[in-house]
């Protein structure tokens, strides 16, 4: 982990021993900030929900506070495709899925003429 931190990557560390009060304080801290890129905060909150340290309703409320009502609701309850469309704006260009290539037209086979 130290090697990653030395490469200017942000590292999220959770010991699994945080109390409910600590998690609530952390969630309040995360929603009180403004973010250029909210993905680290959104990911941390998703982790807390996955570990059942916050409820799905709390997660949705946090998402809406961080990225707005529409995007927050999509991130909390939308399909995978809808969620990906929302988060794509914060992904580095190298991590974005390439646009599908246009379908190639099949060459028509014309019968050989006389």
On whether residue 65 sits in a domain, the answer given is yes
- Give me the mean pLDDT over the 74-91 stretch: 95
Residue 48 lies in a domain: yes
Q: What is the pLDDT of residues 15-73, one digit of tens each?
A: 567 788 899 999 999 999 999 999 999 999 999 999 999 999 999 999 999 999 999 99
Percentage of residues of the chain with pLDDT beyond 90: 60
Q: Are 61 and 96 in contact (CB under 8 A)?
A: no
Give phi and psi for 35, each to the nearest 5: -125, 135
Residue 68 resides in a domain: yes
Which residues span the domain enclosing 20? 2-94
Q: How many domains does the chain fold into? A: 1
Kindly tell me the sign of the dihedral angle through the C-alpha atoms of 62, 51, 91, 80: negative
Structural domain contains residue 46: yes
Report residue 27 as tokens: 């969630």
Provide the whole-model pTM.
0.69
């Amino acid at each position: 982990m130290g090697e990653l931190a030395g490469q200017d990557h942000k590292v999220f560390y959770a010991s699994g021993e945080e109390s409910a009060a600590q998690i609530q304080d952390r969630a309040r801290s995360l929603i009180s900030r403004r973010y250029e890129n909210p993905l680290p905060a959104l990911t941390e909150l998703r982790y807390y929900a996955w570990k059942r340290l916050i409820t799905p309703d709390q997660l949705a409320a946090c998402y809406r506070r961080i990225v707005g009502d529409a995007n927050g609701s999509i991130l909390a309850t939308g399909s995978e495709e809808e969620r990906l469309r929302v988060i794509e704006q914060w992904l580095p260009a190298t991590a974005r899925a390439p646009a599908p290539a246009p379908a190639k037209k099949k060459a028509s086979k014309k019968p050989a003429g006389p």
